[in-house]
Structure 1
Amino acid sequence: MKTSSLFVLVLILSGQLALAQSPLTISGKVLDRASQQPLEYATVKLVDAQTAELISGTTTDANGMFSLETTHKNFTIEVGFIGFVSRTLTDFDISSGQLKLGAISLEEDTETLDEVVVQGEKSQTVFKLDKRVFNVGQDLSSTGASALEVLNNVPSVTVNIEGQIRLRGSAGVQILINGKPSVLASEQGNALGTLTADMIESIEVITNPSAKYDAEGTSGIINIVLKKEEKKGLNGSVTLNTGVPNNHSLGLSVNKRTNKFNLFSQLGVGHRTFPREYKTINRDLTDNTAISSIGDSDKNETFFNIILGTDYHINAQNVLSLTGHFAYEIESEYADTEFSERDADNSLISQWNRNEVTEATNPKWQYELQYKKDFTDHEDHTLLFSALGSYFGKDQSSEFENTPFFGETNLSEQQQTRTDFKEGEYTFKLDYTHPFGEQITWEAGSQYVITDVTNDYAVSDWADNRWELNPDLTNVFDYMQKVLGVYSTAAYEGDKFGVKLGLRVENTDLQTELVNTEQENNRQFTDFFPTLHSSYKVLENFSLQAGYSRRISRPRLWDLNPFFNIRNNYSIRTGNPELMPEYTDSYEVTGIYDQEAFSLNAAVYYRYTSDVVEDVSTFEDNVSISMPMNIGINKATGLEFNAKYYPTDWWTLNGDFNYNYFQREGEFETTTFDFNADQWSARMTTKFKLPADFDFEVTGNYRSSYQTFQQEVSDYMFVDLGVRKKIMKGKTIVNLSVRDVFASRISESETIQPEFYLYDYRLQGRFITLGVSYGFGKGEAMEFSGQKRF
């Protein structure tokens, strides 16, 4: 009897224990109370009712649905979404192991919007296996800034006064927009000024790209990722900027999100002025004669810029996107330059004034069709196809007038140039990613890029009361380049160790022709580009990364096109149709240390570059002609530090330091040259959160002097600052920024050769911008304006 009773008791307890451990399924749907539309990515948390610790959680799908399981019995449920009042549920009706919550409505909360904006302000750098992602945020000094100015605030990146982008002190950077080549980032388009700070989501700095990326760019890749908001309902912002010198613009960003469609658009109109001061000296050291110039110019630009796009969610696994970007610029430039010619005794021989008036129109457009398929077996199992087309045109005319006021010159009294430039680029790309479990990923894909350019350039001189075409300086240059690339990568990422191997093969078919003189230069070659990346987590807050990649830098259009720019008849730059590509083998090791108040990233790198492209100057009759040429090899060893420190909640320090030691070896005109040199750059930014919702930021920049094959380039230092005030609970933001506060960002170089001496000086000056931005719907206030490169 006792045994049977005990047996029955064990059965009862076992049944109760099994019942207690059976999982409880919780399900429901989260809606926007005002529109009754589903909220995707709303968070649902299960919290222990006694300890308030998180038990588990999930997010809603595209239909606002969620489902999760738990064995806990004493819990509460918290439901939240950005910009909405969170709800906590405590009373439940559990039936047959099911807790069906039904529809849960959330109400929009304007009180939290200011907090959301604040959270988005910190620009953070995220390290991945083969790249760094710099989240732009709302940096104060970016007020009224273009993509070039934003890039100048990114660790490892510098932009000089002429708009040339360098990565770790080296040129040869491949600029991508949303992972693809773009006319907006091309040297010919000069259109990065039409991309403004408010349009940029993040910037990816890839110093050692994997084989998945285009092999173009010896020093690496910078990928600018544009914003494409997907908040429910109608959202957006409107901005107004004004500045000195002229920097006036109006911008509008609008986004409409429904269950099936995401419609987005950005519009900008404005007028800008870019002043410049310059000075040059050409001295013949054989007879000590010299010609110098000093002057200033104003480049004015009226621009119109619009982006329109839509994402069509066919279903949960398939999305079709169509995007168009159109920009139109009307340019005018006025330059006034005084020239002086002196003899060996420094006595003035002649003096004249050269006046320039240039007018141009620049239409630019880009369109893209993209299809993405997400497979159901894994969230990272994807297939992506995109077709992109772009066009840039320039219709430009310049008139030059030489007015002697002492002595005589051998120049034409008047000259004029005409440029009819057309560039079309078409990119077709296919990428496939297949994860095998959570640790192994295989990628494969291909890309085909076609670039078709025609540049019709003519120079005419005024003689015998009529314009006469100068045949020596007039020609039509046709350029056609086709690059086909295929790649495959395999990656393993464990809890502590990760490795990624890749191989890319690219075939290049390049054809150039000077039509008038029937000079052709055609070449075709195939290259292999292996890559290797690895990472190891030494401690929870300390990791090591190592990488290797082989890169190519193909000659740019303007490096190949042998036209003569006659803006200054005594300092001329021309292209070289015989130019060959550079090749670089790049190695680096990076250490990443991160804790709550301090983070430090240190890298050691080495780059070996063959057939280095440098501008080489030749000299005759006091006229210098600069032409790019392949000159020897370069061995560069570098050290880089990026650090961020938060002394208090209201004070942030951010520093960036890069040192580069290089060895140049080669031969020019049968003379061997070997030299060692170095260069370094540093940037320090400090930010303060002040009372009454004021923010203040100061950034100091320094770039050291450095040496090239023929030149000595001087150092410079400049300071940017910004002030911001939030009003209306963060829905309206007033910004003030001053770039180059002391007008000290000066480009200065000297070329000292046995037979001649060249000096070049350029100053762009101070820019002050005041901006007001208002966000409506769930949109956040932002900035809209910008500068562009010359």
Structure 2
Amino acid sequence: MRVNLLMLVFLLSAQSVLSQTGHSLKGTVTDINSSPLAFVNAILLNSTDSSIVKGAITDEKGFYSFDEVEPGTYLLMLSQIGYSNSYSSAIIITEESGNQTMPTSTLLENTIQLKEANIVALKPFIERRMDMTVVNVENSIVDAGATALEILKRSPGIVVDNDGNISIKGKQGVMVMIDDKPTYLSSSDLQNLLRNMSSDQLSSIEIITNPSARYDASGNSGILNIKLRKKQNLGMNGSVTLSYGQGQYPDFGGGLSLNYRNERINLFGNYNYSYGYYFEDVELNRRFKEPDHTSSFIQRTSDKGRYINTNFRAGIDYSLAENQTLGLQVRGYNSTNRDRTTSHTEVFNYNVLPDSGYVTRNENDSKWVNVSTNLNYRYKLDSLGRELSADIDYGIFNNKSDFRFQTDHYYPDQSQSTYRDLATNDQPASIDIRTIKLDYIHPFSKAVKIEAGLKSSFVKTDSDVKYKNIVNQVEVLDTGKSNHFIYKENINALYISSAFEYKKFGIQLGLRAEQTVADGNQVAIASTFHRNELEFFPTAFLTYEFTTNHEGRFSYSKRIERPGYQQLNPFKYFLDPYNYMEGNPELEPQLTNSFEMSYTLMKMFSISFNYSHTQNAMAQISKQIDSTRTTFVRTENLNANDHYGVSLSVPVQITKWWYSSNNFNLFNNRYQGLSSIGEVDQRLSSYSFNSYNSFTLPGSWSVELNAYYNSRMVWGTLLVDPVYSVSAGIRKSFLDEKISLRINVNDIFHTETFNSVMKYQNVDADFNRIYDTQFIRVHLSYNFGKKNVPEARQRTSGSQEEENRINTGR
């Protein structure tokens, strides 16, 4: 019933855009402290039968308005979760009434005592704002104890593949930031970092599809900004968390967070630890064309690994004066992984039974360490909003991976050949990042504002890979497979952005210029390259408020996606003697022009249309050498990637105790161009759906149910099969919300598998991958200390975009 009523509100509100004949009725809603209340449901009812006539939702100023109200007698109902419903007395509209303004309405908090536990209002899991979508992780049940990577997979419009590549609304090339600071990590290392971050550390995730000129131009499909949790309690306070998960293998986790604040100093810090096991089962089928037949390689791989992750964050904010703050922050993480992989490969030619085969055993021990520091300063020049801020960042990333390979060949009768491959592969790598950033904000009035700034980053990567064959138990360096690669990069950026409002229009225009100076050096063969490029990145945003409940928006941005540091390294990474990956020093950045147009109804329901064109589109190209039956993968530039799509967001308060947020994306991707193996033209229409449901029950119990479905998609030259998953969780709080127990089940039906196909030119292969995605996790948290401390200051470091491109570990 409630769904039907809300859909009726939707339709009645939309109808008001089409007709302009009646009177207007407006008003304001506040709380008991006279503070404006946003997102209050304002429903205009017919006084005779209480049927819904019109619906509206208050804005950030608590304002609502009904246009084109016909003469009659009405009642006004105001409702919001956490507050008691309010009903007005009879409102009489006559032909002579004209436009009416209601007296200010006050809503009272509705705190219900049930078995000595309080039910309080929480932020919705998914919020739609003018320039972004926000996923509020902090109070989620399903996400309790989950990793940041697991949370991203359940976020609207986000797809994460098995290699950690992230796409937004079907578009790849995402810049991931943490507290407004770019991470500069490659997809595999970003995946490792996000696995290392627990939901206990996260407050929210901001999904920004068309960022302004203030942000780095990197990330052709947009930005994911992960906001870390900040304590807001007075004096000393903190929290302790423990979690245990059980899938095919167990995992453990725990953390401690502390915060202290007085009038001048804010000290904050946290430490988190996780330990567990994981597995991955892969089946790879490759087919090679012979003159008179097709031979097949069927490879089944089983990988079991163990991880030990720790991370910390500590900082201080010191008020030099009432309008000046100096801050220092240090964060770091340490990841130790041990992988043991066994791969069985059977070779089929003319026979139904295999003709031959081989078994590869791979032992990999890796350690990944990062320490990053940020020194920041903020100066509020006046009460009008003028502000100057500066950041200096320095980060060190070190990775050491030691591989040991053993390949045994055998005959059709399963007897082992005397031929055996033995090799070791040491892959030490270090990355050094330095950045400096300066931003200035100057409001001329409430309607006009200008922002400007500059940034310089300096990056040096050093990768020295030594591949050794073991001959008669002696390690012999293989210079053909070894590689020492040094890469240096300097990016200098300037930007200016202006925003102004006029009546119902809002306009923001920006321009960013980035100069990239890069030098690469393959030390062993004395091969170098040098690049010096200057690019301009314009942005434009236009909003128009048709009425209080109807708003249109248009945005445009030009963005860049630079290759990851290791993607430029021509080193060959061998999975076994017949499969390897290699870098490409000739890889060019891809440039994307993005357009988006959206309509928002009642500040809740929205529909958007988007189009983007990417030139020099980067895509993974697989090559098969039929004569040697070898397969290898490297990233190359294609001519273009064209993407267009439509997105629909429908959040619905179905009942007082059931809230549902539903998101649907329909899009088409086309990759085309000339690669090193010939012409590539891959296109496909796809869709994705995400539904989040929250149920508030008596006795401080609450339940969440989350489901998503991704249809078949094209990622470069890869066709990915459909995937879906359903997860659920339950929460119970004790001792006035100090203790919280959460239990969640992930991937209930164990459907989150990754299957894909590559078929073009002479390439013919398919993959099937299964992970430990089905598990149950128990999470316990305890909050202690004083309440209502002002929160620690959110800071933007300058080195985020560079860190996004690092590739140093699993």
Q: TM-score, normalised by structure 1?
A: 0.81
Code of the aligned partner of 1:157: I
Does structure 1 residue 181 correspond to structure 2 residue 187?
A: no
Counterpart among 492, 495, 499 of residue 491 in structure 1: 499
Give the partner amino acid of 1:600. Answer: F
Equivalent residue for 1:578, pick from 583, 586, 609: 586
- Counterpart for residue 606 of structure 1: 611
2:252 aligned residue:
248
CA distance in 2, matches of 1:116, 1:331: 43
Structure 1 residue identity aligned to 2:732: K
Counterparts of 1:173 and 1:117, CA distance in 2: 38
Structure 2 counterpart SS, 1:725: strand
The equivalent of 2:366 in structure 1 is 360
Partner of 2:139: 138
Q: Which range moves more in the overlay, 351-360 or 317-326?
A: 351-360
Question: What are the equivalent positions in structure 2 for 1:726-741 lying under 5 Å apart?
Answer: 726-741=733-748
Q: Which amino acid aligns with 1:371?
A: Y
1:142 match: secondary structure: coil
Q: What is the CA deviation profile of residues 1-53 of structure 1, one whole-angstrom value per residue up to 9, with x for unaligned ones?
A: xxxxxxxxxxxxxxxxxxxxxxxxxxxxxxxxxxxxxxxxxxxxxxxxxx999
**Contact kept in structure 2, 1:290 and 1:622, CA below 8 Å:** no
Deviation at 1:684, TM superposition (A): 1.2
Q: In the aligned structure 2, how far is the partner of 1:117 from the partner of 1:297?
A: 46
- The change in CA–CA distance for 1:646 and 1:115 in structure 2 (over 3 A counts) is farther
Which residue matches 2:732? 725
* CA distance 1:133–1:789, change in 2 (3 Å): farther
- 1-side partners of 2:372 and 2:732: how far apart? 36
Checking the alignment, whether the CA contact within 8 Å between 2:126 and 2:133 is kept in structure 1 is no
Q: Describe the SS at the equivalent of 1:566.
A: strand
* Matched residue, 1:15: none
Check conservation: 2:148, 2:194, Cα contact below 8 A. yes
- Does the Cα contact within 8 Å between 1:579 and 1:630 map onto a contact in 2? yes
CA contact (8 A) 1:121 1:137 kept: no
Question: Could you list the per-position Cα deviations for residues 236-282 of structure 1 after superposition, in whole angstroms to 9, with x for gaps in the alignment?
Answer: 11011111132201211110111111111111122122211111112
Question: For residues 639 and 116 of structure 1, do their structure 2 counterparts lie closer, same or farther at Cα, with a shift above 3 Å needed?
Answer: farther
In the alignment, the residues of structure 2 paired with residue 514 and residue 421 of structure 1 have an alpha-carbon distance, to the nearest angstrom, of 14
Paired residues of 1:238 and 1:251 also in contact (CA < 8 A): yes
The aligned amino acid for 1:469 is L
Structure 2 matches for 1:519-558, cutoff 5 A?
519-558=527-566
Counterpart in 1 of 2:776? 768
Alignment partner of 1:345: what SS? coil
Is the alpha carbon distance of 1:260 and 1:648 closer, same or farther for their aligned partners in structure 2, counting shifts above 3 Å?
same
Q: Distance in 1 between matches of 2:518 and 2:545?
A: 44
Counterpart residue number, 1:749: 756
2:200 is paired with a residue whose SS is helix
Q: Residues 496-515 of structure 1: matches in 2 within 5 Å?
A: 496-515=504-523
Alpha-carbon distance between aligned partners in 2 of 1:117 and 1:509, rounded to the nearest angstrom: 57
TM superposition shift of 1:672: 4.7
| Number of equivalences | 678
What is the SS of the residue equivalent to 1:565? strand
Residue 623 of structure 1, aligned match among 630, 647, 652: 630
SS of residue in 1 equivalent to 2:769: strand
Per-residue displacement from partner, 1:182-202 (whole Å, max 9, x unpaired)?
Answer: 357875463122332222222
Tell me the distance in 1 between the aligned counterparts of 2:354 and 2:480: 31
Which range moves more in the overlay, 695-704 or 674-683?
674-683
Question: Cα distance, 1:57 vs. partner?
Answer: 6.8
Deviation at 1:690, TM superposition (A): 2.3
Q: Any stretches of 5+ residues in structure 1 without a counterpart?
A: 1-50, 59-108, 781-787
**2:338 maps to amino acid:** S
- Mapped to 1, the partners of 2:186 and 2:574 lie a distance apart of 26
Cα deviations by residue, 1:290-322 (Å, 9 ceiling, x for unpaired):
222112112211122211111101122001111
Checking the alignment, whether the CA contact within 8 Å between 1:725 and 1:733 is kept in structure 2 is: yes
1:148 matched to 2:149: yes
Q: Are 2:425 and 1:417 aligned?
A: yes
Q: Distance in 1 between matches of 2:729 and 2:551?
A: 34
Corresponding residue number in structure 2 for 1:394: 399
Which residue identity lines up with residue 702 of structure 2 in the other structure? D
Report the Cα offset of residue 150 of structure 1. 2.3
The residue that corresponds to 1:657 in the other structure is 664
Matched to 1:291, the amino acid is F
2:380 is the counterpart of 1:374: yes
Instruction: Give me the whole-angstrom Cα distance separating, in 2, the residues matched to 1:448 and 1:199.
Output: 29
Deviation at 1:639, TM superposition (A): 0.4
Distance 1:302 1:664 in 2: 39
For residues 667 and 744 of structure 1, the distance between their equivalents in structure 2, rounded to whole angstroms, comes to: 36
Pick which of 141-150 and 672-681 moved more.
672-681
Q: 1:225 to 1:172 in 2, by over 3 A?
A: same
State the alpha-carbon separation in 2 of the partners of residues 241 and 328 from structure 1.
19
Partner Cα distance (1:632, 1:503) in 2: 26
2: distance between equivalents of 1:311 and 1:53?
32
Aligned-pair CA distance for 1:126: 4.2
Structure 2 Cα separation of the partners of residues 746 and 436 of structure 1: 54
Q: Is 2:265 the partner of 1:261?
A: yes
The reply to whether residue 324 of structure 1 matches residue 330 of structure 2 is yes
8 Å Cα contact 1:602/1:641 also seen in 2: yes
2:220 to 218, 223, 247: 218
Q: CA deviation at 1:118?
A: 4.0
Separation in structure 2 between the aligned mates of residue 204 and residue 477 of structure 1, nearest angstrom: 36
* 1:409/1:560 CA distance change after superposition, 3 Å: farther
Distance in 2, matches of 1:179 and 1:727, equals 34
Distance 1:534 1:52 in 2: 30
**Does 1:433 find its partner at 2:438?**
no
Aligned mates of 2:123, 2:419 — CA distance in 1: 56
CA drift of 1:714 comes to 1.1
Change (3 A) 1:185 1:617: closer
Q: How far 1:153 sits from its partner (Å)?
A: 3.0
Query: Whole-Å Cα distance in 2 between the matches of residues 122 and 592 of structure 1?
Result: 18
1:729 maps to amino acid? D
Shift of 1:117: 8.3
Summarize the alignment of residues 221-300 of structure 1 with structure 2, pairs less than 5 Å apart.
Answer: 221-244=223-246, 245-286=249-290, 287-300=293-306
Larger Rg: 1
| Equivalent in the alignment of 1:693 | 700
Per-residue CA distance 1:94-123 (angstroms, 9 max, x = gap): xxxxxxxxxxxxxxx9999x9898434532
Tell me the percent identity.
25
Distance 1:644 1:53 in 2: 24
Shift in Å, 1:409: 6.4
| Correspondence for 2:651 | 644
Q: Distance in 2 between matches of 1:485 and 1:699?
A: 41
Contact 2:245 2:778 in 1 (8 A): yes
Q: Matches of 1:167 and 1:148 in 2, distance apart?
A: 14
More contact order relative to length (CA 8 Å, sep ≥ 6) = 2
Indicate the residue corresponding to 1:716 in structure 2: 723
Amino acid at match of 1:292: I
Q: Whole-Å Cα distance in 2 between the matches of residues 299 and 719 of structure 1? A: 25
Aligned 8 A contact 1:285 1:756 in 2: no
Q: Which residue number corresponds to residue 101 of structure 1?
A: none
1:587 counterpart = 2:591: no
Is the contact made by 1:295 and 1:336 (CA closer than 8 Å) also made in structure 2?
yes
Kept in 2: contact 1:454–1:479 (CA 8 A): yes
Using the alignment, how far apart are the partners of 2:591 and 2:553 within structure 1?
23
CA contact (8 A) 1:350 1:408 kept: no
Q: For each residue in 1:525-562, what CA deviation from the matched residue of structure 2 results, as whole angstroms up to 9, or x when unmatched?
A: 00011110011112212211110011111111122112
Deviation at 1:676, TM superposition (A): 3.8
> What does residue 340 of structure 2 align with?
334
463-472 vs 167-176, which moves further: 463-472
Conserved? CA contact 1:176–1:185, under 8 Å: no
Question: Structure 1 residues 147, 709: closer, same or farther in 2, change over 3 A?
Answer: closer
CA offset digits 1:597-652 (Å, max 9, x no partner): xx312110010111111111111122111111111112211101122111111111
Q: TM-score, normalised by structure 2?
A: 0.79
Contact 2:682 2:714 in 1 (8 A): no
